[in-house]
Amino acid sequence: MLIQTYYPEHYAIQDAVRQDYASFFERELHFRRMMAYPPFTSLANVIVRDTKLENVIRWSRQLSEYFRRRMERAAYSGTGFGPAGAPEKGASLQFLLKSPKRTLLTKVLTGALAFCDAHEIPQTAVLVDMDPLTLL
């Protein structure tokens, strides 16, 4: 196998070269715990898309305000990032939401979909991916 990288000293590359799966697992688990990544938190990727950029921007602003208000509540204890560019075709923006409690994240997402209905944001314009395998 040939691997091209800018960071040959990275532990993932070094452990792969040595075929040291146990060391990689321990380091990666430690990193994920420190950064509050799965499996220690739940993630959701919310993509807002449409054929018109103006709609995507307007709807994303509305959702951004909704997420900001929900995450400020002490009980939620989650974080959110976005909107940011999304790798979808056409006009799209995405939010990444993170919470240590999956039930709270689910509650926020369910509320967001109800918020979209109340604010006439089409159901087809908002995609929710719980525990996404990739963000690209």
Distance CA 56, CA 8 (A): 40
Residue 123 predicted with pLDDT over 70: yes
Distance CA 48, CA 62 (A): 11
Distances (CA, A) of 68 to 61, 71, 108: 10, 5, 11
pLDDT digits (tens, 9 = 90+) for 43-82: 999 999 999 999 999 999 999 999 888 877 645 556 767 6
% of the chain at pLDDT higher than 70: 90
Q: Which domains, and CATH codes, for the chain?
A: 11-40 (no CATH), 42-130 (3.30.70.600)
Contact 100, 78 (CB under 8 A): yes
Residue 119 predicted with pLDDT over 50: yes
The structure's pTM equals: 0.76
Residue 6 predicted with pLDDT over 50: yes
pLDDT digits (tens, 9 = 90+) for 16-28: 999 999 999 999 9
